[in-house]
Amino acid sequence: MQLRERPILVTGGAGFVGSNLVTRLVREGARVTVLDDLFTGRRENLPDGIAFVHGSVCDAALVERLVADHELTFHLAARNIVVSTRNPREDFETNIGGTLNVLLAARAAGNRRVVYTSSTSVYGNPRHLPINEDDHLSLLTPYAVSKLAGENYCMAFYESYDLPTTAVRYSNIFGPGQDPANPYCGVVAKFLESLLAGKAPVIHGDGNQSRDFTFIDDAVEATLLAGTSDRSLGEVFNVGTGVETRVNELAATLIALTGARVTASHTDRRDVDNIRRRVVNIEKTRRALRWVPEVTLEEGLKRTVEWQRARTTPAAARAGA
C-alpha cells in the first residue's frame, strides 16, 4: 500500500509512539491528522504539516467525522497502566469506549481500515516463554482488561461486519521521544533521567523481573506494516524482539553507556509491577508482515542516551560534547 497522499488518522498521535509514527507517515508523504486530548501527549512532539485536532476519542460524534474523512486509522489513544490502576472507570471510558467509537465510526463510513495498538500486558504472568499470540492470557490489571477488550472488539468487528482491523501487541517500547517528564513514561526513560542528573536509577523490587524491550523505530515499522499488509487483517501480532532482559541488566547497561559513577538502588515494587517475566515470540509477525526488529537493545539505548543528552544539554550536544 502506497502511503503518499493517503489521508491517515492517528488517535493519540501526540504521545510517544504516536508522534514517532506520525513523523514516519509524514516522511512517507501521507496526509496525517492527529486526534489527541493531550492527556500525556504534547503538541510539540508533532512535526509540521499535519492537521491537529484537540479532542477525545470519547467524543463519538467527533470520532465519527474524523474516521470518515480518512482511509486508515491508527488507534493509539489510551489511558496508561498507572492511570488505569488508579481509576478503572477512566480507563474503561477511554480504552474501551474510545475504541468502540473508532470501530463504529469505521463501520459507519463503509468499513475503513483500523490498526489497534494493544499490549503484551494481556499475557500477565505467562506459563511458557517466549509467549505466542494464542497462548493463555491472564489479566492482572484493569489496563490489561481494557486493552484486551479493545482487541476483542476489533476481532469481533472483523468477523461480524468484515471491518478490516488488525491489532499489534506492543512490548515495552523505548527510544527517542519518550519523555521522562511524563510521570507514566517507561523504565528506560526513568533510569536515563536519573543517570543524566547524576543520580542512581531506582529499581522497583529485586530487579530480576524481565521484559522484552522494543526500539521505537522497529515498533513503528511493524505498526505501518500492520496497516498496509494484505496478510494482517483480522490478526493479532506480537511486537517485541524475542530477547529477554532483566531490569537489573537494563540498569547496568545504561550505567555503562552513560558513564555514570553510581550503583542502582532498590525500592518496593509498585502495584502495577506484578508481572515477573516477559519475552514474546515474534515468529508470526516476522512471517506474516515480513518484519524483523533491526535495532538491538544496546544500539537502541545508545540512540536514546544521545537523544536525551541532546535535550538536556542542547549546547553541549551542538558542540559535539
Q: Catalytic amino acids?
A: 143
Q: Compare residues 11 and 166 and give the one whose CB is closer to ligand NAD.
A: 11
Give me the phi and psi of 267, to 5 degrees please: -140, 175
Q: Binding of ligand NAD at residue 275 (CB under 6 A)?
A: no
Question: What is the x/- site pattern for ligand NAD, positions 122-151, by CB under 6 A?
Answer: -------------------------x----
- In whole angstroms, how far apart are CA 115 and each of 10, 201, 208, 229, 277? 10, 35, 33, 11, 27
Tell me the closest approach of the beta carbon of residue 20 to ligand NAD, in angstroms: 8
Sign of the CA dihedral 157, 19, 148, 166? positive
Q: Residues 167, 154: contact at Cβ < 8 Å?
A: yes
Tell me the closest approach of the beta carbon of residue 261 to ligand NAD, in angstroms: 29
Q: Which amino acid is at 82?
A: V
Peptide bond connecting 130 to the previous residue in cis, omega within 30 degrees of 0: yes
Using CB under 6 A, which of 14, 26, 103, 220 touches ligand NAD?
14
**How many residues in the shown chain lie near ligand NAD by CB under 6 A?**
31
Q: Binding of ligand NAD at residue 56 (CB under 6 A)?
A: yes
Tell me the closest approach of the beta carbon of residue 4 to ligand NAD, in angstroms: 25
Q: Which amino acid is at 133?
A: E
Question: What is the x/- site pattern for ligand NAD, positions 157-176, by CB under 6 A?
Answer: -------------x-xx---
Tell me the closest approach of the beta carbon of residue 149 to ligand NAD, in angstroms: 12
Tell me the closest approach of the beta carbon of residue 115 to ligand NAD, in angstroms: 11
Q: Binding of ligand NAD at residue 40 (CB under 6 A)?
A: yes
Q: Which amino acid is at 151?
A: E
Instruction: Name the grid cell of 209.
Output: 523481573
CA–CA separation, 241 and 219 (whole Å): 10
Q: Which amino acid is at 213?
A: F
Question: What is the x/- site pattern for ligand NAD, positions 188-227, by CB under 6 A?
Answer: ----------------------------------------
CA–CA separation, 321 and 313 (whole Å): 9
Instruction: Name the grid cell of 27.
Output: 516522511
CA–CA separation, 84 and 106 (whole Å): 26
**Footprint of ligand NAD on 69-88 (CB under 6 A):** 76-80
Instruction: Return residues touching ligand NAD (CB under 6 A).
Output: 11-12, 14-18, 35-41, 56-58, 76-80, 94, 98, 117, 119, 147, 170, 172-173, 186
